[in-house]
Amino acid sequence: MLTLDLASRIVDAALAAARAQSAKPMAVVALDAGGHDVVLKREDGCGILRVDIARGKAWGALGMGLGSRELSRKAEQNPRFFAALAAASGGRVVPNPGGVLIRDADRKIVGAVGISGDQADRDEACAIAGIEAAGFAADPG
């Protein structure tokens, strides 16, 4: 289960990784397995759309059961499906790296992290660092 304490550790460690890399200001959200926000932090100077993008990365990963890196690959291969997915989800799915599934020791999905603010690869690396710092397995797809 993704508790408030564990989600806070994930988000704080992701932001620490971003600062260590001198990343642009980030928005980070940790969602539980039901897609509900547990922790959301937005750094000073972060663009106003970054929260929605971060949430869309995490929400899409949960909704499809795949990290957003894999969703990005699939979107390139099948744009018509992803157009339909965008419509079906009310535009809530963001298929771009930075949405990482959180798996427990039994590989069960307990939530997802979404992060946005810098290059997609850097976003994803920070999300992975946060998840691993809290003792979970990161599944970026």
> What is the pLDDT at residue 141?
85
Mean pLDDT to the nearest integer, 90-116: 96
> What is the pLDDT at residue 22?
97
User: What's the token pair of residue 99?
Assistant: 């949405």
> What is the pLDDT at residue 137?
98
pLDDT confidence tier of residue 72, bands split at 50, 70 and 90: very high
Question: Does the pLDDT at position 91 exceed 90?
Answer: no
Mean pLDDT to the nearest integer, 94-101: 95
pLDDT tens, position by position, 9-37: 999 999 999 999 999 999 999 999 999 99
